[in-house]
Amino acid sequence: MDKADSTMARQIAHAATAFERQRTGNTPKSVTVVLSDTTLVITLHGALSEAEKALAKSPEGAAQVQDFHRQLFTSASDSLRQEIKRITGVEVREATAEVEPTTGTVVGVFTTGTTVQVYLLAHGVPAGIWSGDARGDLS
C-alpha cells in the first residue's frame, strides 16, 4: 500500500468512526479498512454499546441488535457513501452492514454488484505466512 492509499484508508476510517458515532452515539475501539478491486470493507471493532452487548447474550436479543443495526445502516448510510465517494472519487453502488453481536463488531461492505463473504478471523495472519497475490484470483 503506498502513502496515498494509506492516507485514503485513514480518511475512510475517520469518516466511518464519525458516521458510527453520529448514528449510534458509540465510538468504535478500532477501525480496519480494506480495499480489494471494487470491494471496500470497513470493520468497526468494539462498536456496540454495553446495553447492546447485554441484549445480544440471548439469541432473540442478538437478532434484535443485528436487525437494528442493519435498519439503521440502511436508513442512514447515504452520508457515509457520499464521504467514500469524496475520498476515493468512486461512487458506491451497494452497501450493507453485518453485526457480530457477541464480539461487538460491525462490518460495512460497499460493493459494485458483487457477492461478498466476510470472515472475521480471531487474530491477524502473519505476513510471512500469507501467500498468493493480493486478489487471490483462481484464474
CB 21 within 8 A of CB 91: no
Q: Which domain holds residue 70?
A: 3-111
Comparing 127 with 29, which gets the higher pLDDT? Answer: 29
pLDDT digits (tens, 9 = 90+) for 98-135: 888 888 888 877 665 556 566 666 777 676 666 554 54
Q: Is residue 88 part of a domain?
A: yes
* 136, pLDDT greater than 50: no
Q: In the sheet that 94-100 helps form, which strands lie side by side, from edge to edge?
A: 30-36, 39-45, 105-111, 94-100
Q: Is residue 136 part of a domain?
A: no
Cα 39 to chain centroid distance, Å, stands at: 11
CA–CA separation, 29 vs 42, rounded Å?
13
Q: Is residue 129 part of a domain?
A: no
Contacts of 134 (CB under 8 A, 6+ apart): 36
Q: Is residue 118 part of a domain?
A: no
Comparing 119 with 75, which gets the higher pLDDT? Answer: 75
**Strand runs (DSSP E) across the chain, as ranges?**
30-36, 39-45, 94-100, 105-111
Q: Is residue 139 part of a domain?
A: no
Q: What is the CATH number of the domain that holds 26?
A: 3.30.980
Q: Is residue 134 part of a domain?
A: no
Q: Is residue 62 part of a domain?
A: yes
Please state the domain count of the chain. 1
